[in-house]
Structure 1
């Protein structure tokens, strides 16, 4: 190994390596035997020399994270002993040459460059890699490759573990022969233009851990065969045109940590089998679909989940209190649904919450005061609901840039910056009581006064009558007289027999025909009596 080597070149040699003005030509004496060339993260520029393939003993070429430009030299294929090529994160351009002679190649990574020309011949070199029977890693993510995904990928090494073609302009479809890659653990094809249906043969890749197909043009149904991938850790199918329901068979993926099915046309109910995947810990994203029905109570099984996004669907019913069991939730997004009812008190358990989005639903009731105690809460959106009552003033509610409560017309209070009306609940009750008293007290005094006047008049009539009919009535105060008799004795309650009108009704004079006994009859106004009862009851309350 070269001592004090500023370029990190590791080599075994017969004679000294000479650098002829890097970046330029790497030259050596006749018996040079470079085994490994490590140029990682040295901020080097320029291009690799065209005669790098002359390093016949080269087994590893590592030039990651520099600024190399230009094409990959065609002569690289002459380095027949090479095992590892690491060229990621540079500025390489052009086509990748035929690598058919590199039969010992095990890893080829050239991601995050500008390779490819966006045409149909860009991936032609992949067929030449079929000779590398020991190939385990192929990473070409983040380039400019175009054309159809070649069926030749199905002829790659059966030892292939990692295949990444993401972030290109690749179109076409995934060939069903993908099932030949029996050792594959990582398949990343996201952010391309690949279309047609996801082949059910992917479900035969029993060793698969990561499957990333997001942001393509896939359509059709999610193949139920994906449920066979019991070792799968991450599944990303978002940003496509998939439709129909989520297959319940995904509930068999008992190791799944991440599931992204967002931005599709999926419909139906959220299967409880998926929500019973207690292994989900990173996030579950079902947003921007057409799911209906209520949020299943099985959500309580997601005790380790960090992010749950069910936004932009047609979910209805209340927010299930079982969400309170998801104590590790940091982000909960339920915006743009048809959820109703109050925020359940059980959500007070979610003290690690950082972002809570509940806007554009039909939620009611008061804003829970426990939200002000969420120390990590950075964003709270409750806008466009039907919340009412006082808004808290402490915690996150003291920062207008962190909360949104727009279009809740019945809210009041809060900090002045929210410009909400004052909460006048106590004052209103006091004013209502004062209003009732202003009506009831004069009415009571009027009734008492009228009663006194009627009593005095009746007493005078008693004294004037020599025959004393009224004393007889006092001695025998319970006198049963029919309504017909009263009607006759008062001449049909005529106005000429009317003695006066009070708050509870009118008083009439009457006399019996058989003994000429004179008496007074009060006819109650039942409407006034009932009104008085209501007013007195209101004052008492």
Structure 2
């Protein structure tokens, strides 16, 4: 009989407990509502995109708000690309259950509040592409659970806090496109979980810390467009997971470390726009996964290594603006995936290899300003996708192949400043997409073909300093898009239409 008497009592206890839990939940949600409204009102100017942030609507249904199902705490704010203006109020630090904050792609100004360091459970913090200024708070190093931190695309100044090396769970760190100065802290080498590090487009100076070679999981390293000097540390050859390495547009000196040829997964290597010297390491030919290699605008010497033919997937190879010499290795014709080949502004000699006929995927071929000799190989006129063909300022001789008229995708053809003879092939008029034709400073003779009037989208035409004669074709007057026309220093008669 006793158990039956206890039942109403137990039911009453459960009811009181449920009521207490419900009251606690309501109180907690009201507190969260108050904090969010305070954050909105002290942060944003007229945020029309947050019109549903009112007590009339359930908190967890507010735009950009995510709640934990059990605790009903706000765990995420996703307010990216909402045309928000104003500042980021320190009130956000009172939302202690936050795990993710994304305010990216807005117009927020002001500074980054150190109060964010109170959100100790924060995993994801993205304030990128706003108008934030001031320095990066060193207090953020207290966010030891943080996996992703992005302040990219702001106006931040000051140095990178060395304390960030304490956030050892970080996997993604994006600080690019700011105005940061000073050196790259060697403490970033402690971020053993880091997969992507982006510091591009700042004013960072000094050395690349060799300690970065200890970040064994690093896949993407972008330090381009800074003022980094000294040499490239050979320790970067230890980054066996690296897929992309961007060091372009700095003041780096010394040799390219042969150890970079030990990166089995490397797909993109950009070292252009530095002061690198020495020869191109043969070991780069071991990079079987490489698809883009840009070593242009340096002081590299020596020959182009034939070992580069080992990079069979390469589709973009740029070695222009160096001091490379010797002949173009015929082994490059094994790179049948090549779409872009830039070898211009070097000291290359010898003929253009006939084996280049295998490079049928080429879209851009630039061999300008070398000392190449011999004739233009007819095999180069068989590329269906070639849009830009530049052989300017070499020592090429012979005639212009009429088969160039088969390059139906051509938009720019530059054969100026060579020793070419003979007439201008009328077949060039078949290049109906041609926008620029440069044939000046050769020894061309004969007349200007009337069919040049078929090049209806032509903007630039330079035929000056040749031995052309006869009348200037009236058909030139049909080229309504023509912006620049150079016919001087020939033996032409008549006037320009």
Cα distance in structure 1, aligned partners of 2:359 and 2:121: 54
Determine the structure 2 residue equivalent to 1:286. 343
User: Which residue of 114, 131, 149 corresponds with 1:67?
Assistant: 131
Determine the structure 1 residue equivalent to 2:419. 362
Q: CA deviation at 1:4?
A: 4.3
Kindly provide the CA deviation profile for residues 451-474 of structure 1, in whole angstroms up to 9, marking residues without a partner as x: xxxxxxxxxxxxxxxxxxxxxxxx
Give the secondary structure class of the aligned counterpart of 1:105.
Answer: coil
Cα distance in structure 2, aligned partners of 1:36 and 1:76: 14
Inter-CA distance 128–14: structure 2 relative to 1 (3 Å threshold): farther
Kindly provide the CA deviation profile for residues 10-32 of structure 1, in whole angstroms up to 9, marking residues without a partner as x: 5647456999x951424158563
Kindly provide the CA deviation profile for residues 297-333 of structure 1, in whole angstroms up to 9, marking residues without a partner as x: 0111111111000000000111000001222110000
Question: 5 Å matches for 1:189-338?
Answer: 189-281=247-339, 283-338=340-395
Matched, 1:391 2:456: no
Determine the structure 2 residue equivalent to 1:27. 91
Cα distance in structure 2, aligned partners of 1:24 and 1:243: 52
Determine the structure 2 residue equivalent to 1:466. none
Determine the structure 2 residue equivalent to 1:93. 157
Cα distance in structure 2, aligned partners of 1:396 and 1:383: 20
Contact 1:316-1:339 at 8 Å conserved across structures: yes
Cα distance in structure 1, aligned partners of 2:346 and 2:93: 65
Inter-CA distance 338–101: structure 2 relative to 1 (3 Å threshold): same
Matched, 1:139 2:203: no
User: Which residue of 212, 225, 234 corresponds with 1:153?
Assistant: 212
Matched, 1:402 2:460: yes
Kindly provide the CA deviation profile for residues 34-58 of structure 1, in whole angstroms up to 9, marking residues without a partner as x: 1111111112111111211111111
Give the secondary structure class of the aligned counterpart of 1:99.
Answer: helix
Matched, 1:109 2:212: no
Cα distance in structure 2, aligned partners of 1:31 and 1:307: 54
Q: CA deviation at 1:365?
A: 1.1
Inter-CA distance 422–350: structure 2 relative to 1 (3 Å threshold): same
Select the structure of larger CA radius of gyration: 1
Contact 1:162-1:184 at 8 Å conserved across structures: yes
Determine the structure 2 residue equivalent to 1:517. none
Determine the structure 2 residue equivalent to 1:76. 140
Cα distance in structure 1, aligned partners of 2:126 and 2:94: 23
Kindly provide the CA deviation profile for residues 255-302 of structure 1, in whole angstroms up to 9, marking residues without a partner as x: 001111111110000000113311101x11000000111101011111
Q: CA deviation at 1:422?
A: 6.2
Q: CA deviation at 1:423?
A: 8.1
Contact 2:250-2:273 at 8 Å conserved across structures: yes
Residue correspondences, number: 413
Give the secondary structure class of the aligned counterpart of 1:317.
Answer: strand
Contact 2:220-2:242 at 8 Å conserved across structures: yes
Inter-CA distance 83–385: structure 2 relative to 1 (3 Å threshold): same
Task: Out of 402-411 and 216-225, give the one that drifted further.
Answer: 402-411
Cα distance in structure 2, aligned partners of 1:196 and 1:309: 27
Q: CA deviation at 1:414?
A: 3.4
Q: CA deviation at 1:3?
A: 3.7
Cα distance in structure 2, aligned partners of 1:132 and 1:400: 55
Cα distance in structure 1, aligned partners of 2:262 and 2:62: 51
Determine the structure 1 residue equivalent to 2:184. 123
Inter-CA distance 321–75: structure 2 relative to 1 (3 Å threshold): same
Contact 1:10-1:38 at 8 Å conserved across structures: no
Inter-CA distance 28–195: structure 2 relative to 1 (3 Å threshold): closer
Inter-CA distance 367–357: structure 2 relative to 1 (3 Å threshold): same
Contact 1:9-1:36 at 8 Å conserved across structures: no
Cα distance in structure 1, aligned partners of 2:189 and 2:468: 69
Inter-CA distance 360–10: structure 2 relative to 1 (3 Å threshold): farther
Inter-CA distance 171–198: structure 2 relative to 1 (3 Å threshold): same
Determine the structure 1 residue equivalent to 2:408. 351
Determine the structure 1 residue equivalent to 2:229. 171
Q: CA deviation at 1:396?
A: 5.8
Contact 1:316-1:338 at 8 Å conserved across structures: yes
Contact 1:90-1:113 at 8 Å conserved across structures: yes
Cα distance in structure 2, aligned partners of 1:229 and 1:354: 33
Q: CA deviation at 1:360?
A: 0.4
User: Which residue of 85, 93, 116 corresponds with 1:52?
Assistant: 116
Kindly provide the CA deviation profile for residues 79-100 of structure 1, in whole angstroms up to 9, marking residues without a partner as x: 1111001221111111111212
Cα distance in structure 1, aligned partners of 2:123 and 2:334: 48
Runs of 5+ unmatched residues, structure 2: 1-58, 80-84, 477-486
